[in-house]
Amino acid sequence: MKQIGEEFKNDSITWIQTFLYDFGFGQFPLPKQWKNISIDGVDDEGRAIMRKAGSLLWEMNVPTDFDNLMDLRGTLTFYKMLERHQTFCEKMLKFPQFLDYVQNTQPDVIVLDHFLQECIGCLSHLLNSSVVQFSNWPIADGYITSLNVPANPTAIPKTGTPFSGLEMSFSSRLTNVIFHYIIVFTRYIQIHVLNSLFAREGYPQVNVMDSEAQRIIYAGRSEFLFDVVRPINNRVKHFGASNCKDPKEFVIWLPEDTNSNVSIEQAVIPSYPTDVISYVSNNSSLFSLCERNCNDKLKKSSSTWTYRSDLFENIPSSVVKERFERVVHQFPTIQWNIINSSPFILVSFGSVAQVENMPVPHLKSLLNIFSKTTSAVIWQTNSPIEEILTKRNITKPDNMILVHWAPIKELLAHPNLQYIICHGGINTINELLLFGVPVIGVPLQGDQGSNLRRLADLGAAEIVPSSRLSKGDLEPAMRKVENNLEKYWIRSTQISSMLKYYRKLHSDDQTFWLRWTARNGKQLRNRKLFKLRYTGDEENIFWMEILTIPILLALLISY
């Protein structure tokens, strides 16, 4: 959301937020000229929910594990999060700064992070302005049905399920339908609760379905080219990778440097901060073991860069050297000599899934699997390294480089990269599509299973459910990719070429449609004919009410 606001440099921006969970970054620092209306809801209850969810991520897909539908732990945690959203939305409704803003300001356009935020969506309705609902998620069919776009669950895999858009078995279709009606039932309850809440607080004109009916555009981060085939209309927009820079801007090492005798010492002699030098010296056993022992085990060269040779063309070596110096200065604990001279596998599970919350047996199993590959493995843990190794009494394999944070985009553009093992968040998927890198996906939550399934359908990914990590299923997936690496790279680069061409034609979609909404939204909302009225939710509620009739009759007869 911050990135969207920064595109409108000459406009007045107001940032409205309920900040409930701290993933280690704190609240985003906002430009000084922005007006900030925020409620800080980070508390012990929220931290407890984060710890619980953070541990569950490594055992099952949250909120629904489609390999074990009877395991409801993720669902219960999810509902606790929804309750917190509701509680702090009510606080925002009574927040003096927000009420003052409602009474004295009418913005031209509201960009609403709508996902699971129906209550916040109702708050936006109080501002009587044009709304673009835009979340950092793919297009979700649970919402497009409200735009009169059909999404038959017997034919179209629901967002959040691991089912293929190419074909589904009967059992998959049945599960998909059940999941669909669980969502419908949940929304039915939400609508009733929220309508009652706003009526009780003196806003009877606020209605969930009516507020959604007034929204001009529904946008998501998925790419139109690679989304599941489905009916669609012109109010659904795929902004996709429009916020991603050209992969060429992240090249820090050239293939000819890999094949030459250039070393990190010849390329750069950075001046590290004193605290960094002290940390590396005191923890040398964590970082130098691989450099001393694993060179004989690792392959000495990599040719995967040849599949995307255009990525490294026409970039001055002086520019690459300058970038490399900057990155080494920022990430001095990474053994760049290993990265620059040997093939490597990149591992990252995103900012939410922290390795410190991973059960010890899972962690030991993964380290054992990684130790068997002939490539170096660099793992961004999002957790203190000493917490993982020293406190848990775990020995790091010689070929592993464990770091708290890593320059992911620069590593995706490295000529020695073999493939990536990751969680499949939508931003990561967009980057993989642009950089043209094969992936082994381990979906942990929400939309990630759907995102990775789209890549697998395209032939550029393999998927390992998180519930299968402890059973060693990652190892055969790695062998499969490594034995067929050429096939995966060719397919990944083909997809990347398609996306780059498409992005040239749609490079300014996000800014264009947001400004278009600001200019035309009021006219669209006030027109007399062809009003913005959705029937999808009304139909769902109608059938839900019809369904309750035989249930009530059965209960009456039983008594």
Domain span at residue 356 reads 248-505
Question: With contact defined as beta carbons under 8 Å apart, do 77 and 62 qualify?
Answer: yes
pLDDT at 316 over 90: yes
Q: What is the DSSP letter of 517?
A: H
Question: With contact defined as beta carbons under 8 Å apart, do 305 and 255 qualify?
Answer: yes
Higher-pLDDT residue of 23 and 249 is: 249
Could you tell me if 402 and 542 lie in one domain? no
Q: E strand or H helix at 321, and its extent?
A: helix 317-330
* Six-digit token string for 232: 């669609």
Angstrom distance (rounded) from CA 379 to CA 286: 13
Question: How does strand 109-112 pair with strand 130-134?
Answer: parallel
Q: What angle do CA 308, 311, 316 make, to 5 degrees?
A: 145
Could you tell me if 364 and 449 lie in one domain? yes
Mean pLDDT of 118-145: 87
Angstrom distance (rounded) from CA 480 to CA 484: 6
Work out whether the CA dihedral 85, 86, 91, 94 comes out positive or negative: positive
Residue 514, domain member (yes or no) = no
Could you tell me if 61 and 140 lie in one domain? no
- pLDDT confidence of residue 176: 94
Could you tell me if 488 and 396 lie in one domain? yes
- pLDDT confidence of residue 550: 83
Mean pLDDT of 347-363: 87
In this predicted structure, which of 42-51, 188-197, 280-289, 423-432 has the lowest mean pLDDT?
280-289
Boundary-marking domain end, from 85, 105, 125: 105
At 13-69, the pLDDT tens digits run 999 999 998 877 778 888 889 999 999 999 999 989 988 998 899 999 999 899 888
Could you tell me if 217 and 258 lie in one domain? no
Could you tell me if 425 and 347 lie in one domain? yes
Could you tell me if 194 and 322 lie in one domain? no
pLDDT at 399 over 50: yes
Helix (H, G, I), strand (E, B) or coil at 217: strand
In this predicted structure, which of 99-108, 213-222, 258-267 has the lowest mean pLDDT?
258-267
Higher-pLDDT residue of 295 and 86 is: 86
Question: With contact defined as beta carbons under 8 Å apart, do 187 and 537 qualify?
Answer: yes
In this predicted structure, which of 290-294, 346-350, 490-494, 509-513 has the lowest mean pLDDT?
290-294
- pLDDT confidence of residue 284: 41
- pLDDT confidence of residue 424: 93
Mean pLDDT of 250-259: 86
Residue 500, domain member (yes or no) = yes
Residue 519, domain member (yes or no) = no
User: Between 73-93 and 170-200, two packed helices, what is the crossing angle to 10 degrees?
Assistant: 30
pLDDT at 285 over 50: no
Angstrom distance (rounded) from CA 71 to CA 465: 15
ω before 63 within 30° of 0 (cis)? Answer: yes
In single-letter form, the type of residue at position 328 comes to V
The number of distinct structural domains making up the chain is: 3
Residue 382, domain member (yes or no) = yes
Q: How confident is the model at residue 263 (pLDDT cuts 50, 70, 90)?
A: very low
Mean pLDDT of 244-257: 91
Could you tell me if 442 and 531 lie in one domain? no
Could you tell me if 200 and 262 lie in one domain? no
Mean pLDDT of 151-158: 89
pLDDT at 416 over 60: yes
Q: E strand or H helix at 99, and its extent?
A: helix 96-104
Q: Which CATH number belongs to the domain containing residue 473 in this structure?
A: 3.40.50.2000
Mean pLDDT of the chain: 85
Question: With contact defined as beta carbons under 8 Å apart, do 304 and 485 qualify?
Answer: yes
Mean pLDDT of 153-165: 92
- pLDDT confidence of residue 21: 87
pLDDT at 555 over 90: no
Boundary-marking domain end, from 76, 105, 134: 105
Q: How confident is the model at residue 306 (pLDDT cuts 50, 70, 90)?
A: confident
- pLDDT confidence of residue 289: 42
- In whole angstroms, what separates CA 559 from the centre of its chain? 49
Angstrom distance (rounded) from CA 383 to CA 364: 16
In this predicted structure, which of 229-243, 406-420, 519-533 has the lowest mean pLDDT?
519-533
Helix (H, G, I), strand (E, B) or coil at 441: strand
In single-letter form, the type of residue at position 300 comes to K
Could you tell me if 273 and 403 lie in one domain? yes
Angstrom distance (rounded) from CA 171 to CA 464: 20
Question: With contact defined as beta carbons under 8 Å apart, do 343 and 304 qualify?
Answer: yes
Residue 521, domain member (yes or no) = no
Residue 3, domain member (yes or no) = yes
- pLDDT confidence of residue 362: 87
- pLDDT confidence of residue 299: 59
- pLDDT confidence of residue 538: 58
- pLDDT confidence of residue 259: 60
Helix (H, G, I), strand (E, B) or coil at 241: helix
Look up tokens 């992070």; give the residue: 113
In single-letter form, the type of residue at position 148 comes to N
In the chain, how many H helices and how many E strands?
Answer: 24, 12
Residue 355, domain member (yes or no) = yes
Radius of gyration of the chain (CA): 25
Neighbour count for residue 358 (Cβ, 10 Å): 25
Could you tell me if 375 and 488 lie in one domain? yes
Could you tell me if 426 and 359 lie in one domain? yes
Residue 309, domain member (yes or no) = yes
Q: Is 501 left (phi over 0), alpha (psi -120 to 50) or beta?
A: alpha
Question: With contact defined as beta carbons under 8 Å apart, do 209 and 195 qualify?
Answer: no
Question: With contact defined as beta carbons under 8 Å apart, do 411 and 378 qualify?
Answer: yes
Question: With contact defined as beta carbons under 8 Å apart, do 250 and 326 qualify?
Answer: no
- pLDDT confidence of residue 270: 42
Q: How confident is the model at residue 297 (pLDDT cuts 50, 70, 90)?
A: low
In single-letter form, the type of residue at position 380 comes to Q
For the chain, percent of residues with pLDDT exceeding 90: 47
Q: How confident is the model at residue 286 (pLDDT cuts 50, 70, 90)?
A: very low
- pLDDT confidence of residue 266: 44
- pLDDT confidence of residue 149: 81
In this predicted structure, which of 135-144, 186-195, 316-325 has the lowest mean pLDDT?
135-144
Phi, psi of 551 (to 5 degrees): -65, -45
Strands (E), 207-307: 217-220, 236-238
Q: How confident is the model at residue 184 (pLDDT cuts 50, 70, 90)?
A: confident
- pLDDT confidence of residue 539: 62
